[in-house]
Amino acid sequence: MERYGTNYLEERKLIKRWSGPIPALLNLLFTLIVFYATWWFFHDPRGVMRMYTPNVGYMYTCWWLIVMIWIVYLFNFWPFKRKWLENTHPLTKGLVLCAFSFGVLYVMINGFFEGILGNFGLAYFNPDQLVKLPGITEFFAVEYSCLAILMFAAIAAWISPAWVIAMEEEPWSKLPQPAKGFSLFICTFFLSTIVYFVTMHPHMGILYHPWQSFTSIAPPYWEGFADTVSGNFHMAWIMCCTVVVWLLETIWQRYPFNLIRNPWLRRIATFFGIIVIAFAMHFFLYFVQELTWGEAIRGTRRAFAPDWRWLHVAEMAIFFLVPALFLNFYCGNWPRKFSMPVNVLIRTVITLVAAVTLYIMYYKTSHLFLGTQKGFSHPQQFPMIPLIWLVNIWLANNWFMDNWPGWKMVPKTVEEIEADHVARQAEIDDVRWSPSLGAGLGMGVLAGVAFYAITIYALPGLYAAIDILK
């Protein structure tokens, strides 16, 4: 039976063409060139298509991400056959698969959301319907509908991979493709729809005057808790969920949830564990802003507005995704020589330091080359767009192009695949309960709490010392 790309990512061996850091540096250079060229062509306000309006560009960026996730994680490259995946030149594969993903993206946005939902269900998905509203300009009609469509992608970018990673594709894991892909797609699309309606639909409902109280809950139920009626509160935790899913899949090797031996307990713990960790991140990144800039003031604008602070939580979260993926894709998920918990901790620390560095560098310099505006809180300053665009290019490079040009792909032998499974299980089995581990765990928890306390104590002073925008 044709396997398409089932387990393709696990069963390929990526071999460095050169030793040392050369492949990583070469791929970084290659992907950055692609990034900047495509940024200029598609997004840059000084470039050709100028889609960074921002929501038009943001919508396409988010949708490219989710379509690639669907192709690889849900459909295992279906309808592309295994032989084609293994034998085609990476550059050809990259171009064909990217073109395929753009085609799917176009059908979803223009066919499903604008064409079907926007014409027969919810007007705000289609700018042509929205513009019929007296007073609304074409520009904002497009921006509003793009926001609605992109938020669906943002939600799906969390739920779809979470179902594969946390729920381990169950209960459809044994199905052949494309039956498995469509089952996962329908299930996660359905869940994304529910999440969309209880998070972003009330946000869209109060874009109109008077508030559309009979079609969406107004004021939204989160107003008191989030100190704003804006749906940015949800965008923040949803984006944190997306980031945590990929941290878990890459640098965390699904640890510690992979220690749970009961399959359904493990799956459910992982699925909800992602949400719990994401909310911890969500609250912390909001608190960070309160510590550095002061308490948010409802009703004000920009950096002091709660709605923008929540949006910035999402933006900050994405800064963690970039180094984590780089570490995983181009640095072989370094380090690997210690026990899994120690490896995971070291990678997390590296990611944390790199994310903070990237954040500082981004806000210090991005306006000089991306055509964006200087400052943190400009309504058009959306670091999520360039960062997710870069992530998309890395995903295309790793998933579609087998890390070309720094690496070449060779299919693993049956023995190598088996050895991988054994090694992975050995890593998990290596973490067994013992009194020493218990003592370490207790000390670690204390150290973690202490680290948190020191961080929040030191943050205001550190931030003042760095003065990012000077």
Partner 1 sequence: MSIDKKEVKRRDFLKGAATGVGVGVFAAMGMYSYSDARKELFPQKERKKKDIGVCKSIHVTNISETSWFDNATLIGDIKKSGGLLVNQYDYNWPPFGNGQGLGKGSYKDGMAKIKEFLPDRLDEAWDVILENCIHPDNPGGYSCLIEMEEMDGNKRKFLLDTGWSYKWMDECFKREGIDTMLRNKEIEALFISHEHFDHYWGLPVTLQYDPEITIYIPEGFYEEGLQYIKDCGHKGEVHVVKNGLFEVAPGFATYVFPVPIICRVYGEQSLYFNIAGKGLVSVTGCCHQGIIRFAETAYQEIAYENDNFHGIYGGLHISPFEDWDPKYDDLVISLGKYGFERIGCNHCTGVLCAKKFINAGYPVVEGTAQFRSKDTAYLGNGDTITFG
301-340 residues near partner 1, rule: CB under 8 A: 301-302, 304-308, 338-340
438 binds partner 1 (CB under 8 A): yes
Q: With contacts defined by CB under 8 A, name the span among 84-92, 186-194, 400-408, 445-453 that binds partner 1.
A: 445-453
Given candidates 449, 458, 462, 466, which one binds partner 1 under the rule CB under 8 A? 449
Cβ of residue 220: shortest distance to partner 1, in angstroms? 8
Query: Looking at beta carbons only, is 179 or 297 nearer to partner 1?
Result: 297
385, two tokens = 């767009």
What distance in Å separates the CA atoms of residue 135 and residue 130, rounded to the nearest whole number?
10
Site residues for partner 1, window 356-375 (CB under 8 A)?
A: 371-375
State how far the alpha carbon of 269 is from the alpha carbons of 72, 165, 172, 255, 281, in Å.
24, 12, 19, 12, 18
Query: Looking at beta carbons only, is 299 or 332 nearer to partner 1?
Result: 299
Q: What angle do CA 416, 420, 425 make, to 5 degrees?
A: 150
Cβ of residue 111: shortest distance to partner 1, in angstroms? 23
- In terms of Cα–Cα distance, which of 240, 246, 60 is closest to 150? 60
Query: Looking at beta carbons only, is 17 or 301 nearer to partner 1?
Result: 301
454 binds partner 1 (CB under 8 A): no
Given candidates 136, 260, 268, 428, which one binds partner 1 under the rule CB under 8 A? 136
Cβ of residue 306: shortest distance to partner 1, in angstroms? 7
| 377 Cβ contact list (under 8 Å, min separation 6) | 301, 302, 303, 305, 308, 312
Cβ of residue 297: shortest distance to partner 1, in angstroms? 6
Alpha helices in 39-177 (DSSP H): 55-69, 82-87, 90-106, 118-120, 127-130, 138-165
Query: Looking at beta carbons only, is 73 or 237 nearer to partner 1?
Result: 237
Give the count of alpha carbons within 13 A of 232, CB side only: 19
- Positive or negative CA dihedral for 458, 459, 462, 465? negative
Query: Looking at beta carbons only, is 74 or 207 nearer to partner 1?
Result: 207
Cβ of residue 272: shortest distance to partner 1, in angstroms? 13
Q: With contacts defined by CB under 8 A, name the span among 14-22, 149-157, 285-293, 408-416 that binds partner 1.
A: 285-293
Given candidates 219, 357, 360, 425, which one binds partner 1 under the rule CB under 8 A? 219
Cβ of residue 449: shortest distance to partner 1, in angstroms? 4
Cβ of residue 443: shortest distance to partner 1, in angstroms? 5
Cβ of residue 379: shortest distance to partner 1, in angstroms? 7
Q: What angle do CA 276, 191, 127 make, to 5 degrees?
A: 115
Cβ of residue 370: shortest distance to partner 1, in angstroms? 10
Site residues for partner 1, window 366-425 (CB under 8 A)?
A: 371-381
Q: Could you tell me how many residues of this chain bind partner 1 (CB under 8 A)? A: 99
203 binds partner 1 (CB under 8 A): yes
Helix (H) or strand (E) holding 328: helix 306-330
Strand, helix or coil for residue 211: coil
Give the count of alpha carbons within 13 A of 331, CB side only: 16
DSSP symbols for 336-400: -SS-HHHHHHHHHHHHHHHHHHHHHHHHHHHHHHSS--SSS--TT--THHHHHHHHHHHHIIIII
272 binds partner 1 (CB under 8 A): no
Given candidates 24, 291, 324, 388, which one binds partner 1 under the rule CB under 8 A? 291
- Three-state SS string over 92-127 comes to HHHHHHHHHHHHHHHHHHHHHHHHHHHHHCCHHHCH
Given candidates 208, 268, 364, 405, which one binds partner 1 under the rule CB under 8 A? 208
Sole residue written with tokens 């299919």 = 411
Given candidates 52, 64, 158, 330, which one binds partner 1 under the rule CB under 8 A? 52
Cβ of residue 209: shortest distance to partner 1, in angstroms? 6
Residue type, 70: W
Instruction: Count Cβ atoms below 10 Å from residue 305 Cβ, excluding itself.
Output: 21
What distance in Å separates the CA atoms of residue 91 and residue 430, rounded to the nearest whole number?
40
279 binds partner 1 (CB under 8 A): yes
441 binds partner 1 (CB under 8 A): yes
Residue type, 153: A
Given candidates 3, 13, 50, 412, which one binds partner 1 under the rule CB under 8 A? 50
35 binds partner 1 (CB under 8 A): no
Structure letter (DSSP) for residue 413 = P
Contact 40, 50 (CB under 8 A): no
Cβ of residue 117: shortest distance to partner 1, in angstroms? 21
What distance in Å separates the CA atoms of residue 320 and residue 309, rounded to the nearest whole number?
17
Site residues for partner 1, window 159-198 (CB under 8 A)?
A: none
Query: Looking at beta carbons only, is 97 or 281 nearer to partner 1?
Result: 281
Strand, helix or coil for residue 16: strand
Query: Looking at beta carbons only, is 193 or 377 nearer to partner 1?
Result: 377
- What would the x/- binding string for partner 1 be over residues 93 to 132, using CB under 8 A? ----------------------------------------
